[in-house]
Amino acid sequence: MAVTLPIEPGVLVWARETAGYSIEAAADKVGVAKERLEAWEAGKARPGISHLRRLASTYKRPLPALFLARPPEEPPELPDFRRVGSRAAGLSPDTRFAIRDARRWQEIASEIAEDQERLGGVPFPKTDLTDEPEQIAKRIRDWLGVTRETQLGWVDTREAFNAWRRAIEQRDVLVFVLSMPRADCRGFSVWEDDSLPVMVVNSQEVPEARSFTLFHEFTHLMLRNSGVCDEVEDANDYRPIETFCNRVAGFALIPR
């Protein structure tokens, strides 16, 4: 007889929903019938240890997390600055996992920086929507110390992206390049008070698009807000803050 384990059904629901899986998709990933997973989540049946390991692997949670007495509190979801259609579709599991990883790395790196008395050592620039995008872009370039002569010396767009990334990272900003579905987003940023700022760029994008996303997310951080972002297709379906970030990014990459 297979050994089953007492699991709080609400924890299974929490693990699946925070991973972004529907019942059907999760059951398919785990390799069980949808009705069986529904029974586990309703408390009408109990999973065995082998199925719990598959669930933990699918939801990318430590196995002990599924034995919690109740679902833990999660940090608030990042603000969604994507187009209306994209927001309605939600975020895929891969993008949710990328956000989760970025937040975990931010916490670890911030603790290390605090131990080394480096946290807050280089004040991150700040702006608001009343500032002139072209002037903000100049402030960014001056802060990074990248001249037009230096930029013109880069041989291609891949070298340009890597150079921009290094210049930003040298200012104690965490920059990650992670794989996410292109339909989800081009990147996102995470701002937390008393933590190192984080920006994430989608590795599925071409190098020149990655560079644009770097400065777009940089502007989000200057505005002191986190966000998930994609590209503009319909100006009537977009938020003013995204247009603002795009204008700054354009001026930063190609000054007059």
Using one digit for the tens of pLDDT, what is the confidence trace for 74-107? 888 998 888 765 665 689 999 999 999 999 999 9
Q: What is the pLDDT of residues 201-241, one digit of tens each?
A: 999 999 999 999 999 999 999 999 999 987 654 444 457 89
pTM equals 0.89
| 139 pLDDT higher than 90 | yes
Distances in whole angstroms, Cα of residue 8 to Cα of each of 28, 132, 133: 22, 53, 51
Q: Which pLDDT score, from 0 to 100, does residue 1 have?
A: 47
- Which long-range contacts does 52-58 make (Cβ < 8 Å, 24+ apart)? 52/5, 52/7, 54/29, 54/30, 55/12, 55/15, 55/26, 55/30, 56/15, 58/19, 58/21, 58/26, 58/29, 58/30
Task: List pLDDT tens digits, range 24-72.
Answer: 999 999 999 999 999 999 999 999 999 999 999 999 999 999 999 999 9
Structure token digits, residue 139: 């402030």
Tell me, what's the pLDDT at 122? Answer: 72
Least confident of 31-45, 118-132, 235-249: 235-249
State the chain's mean pLDDT as an integer: 91
Q: Which residues contact 91 (CB under 8 A, 6 or more apart)?
A: 20, 99, 184, 185, 228
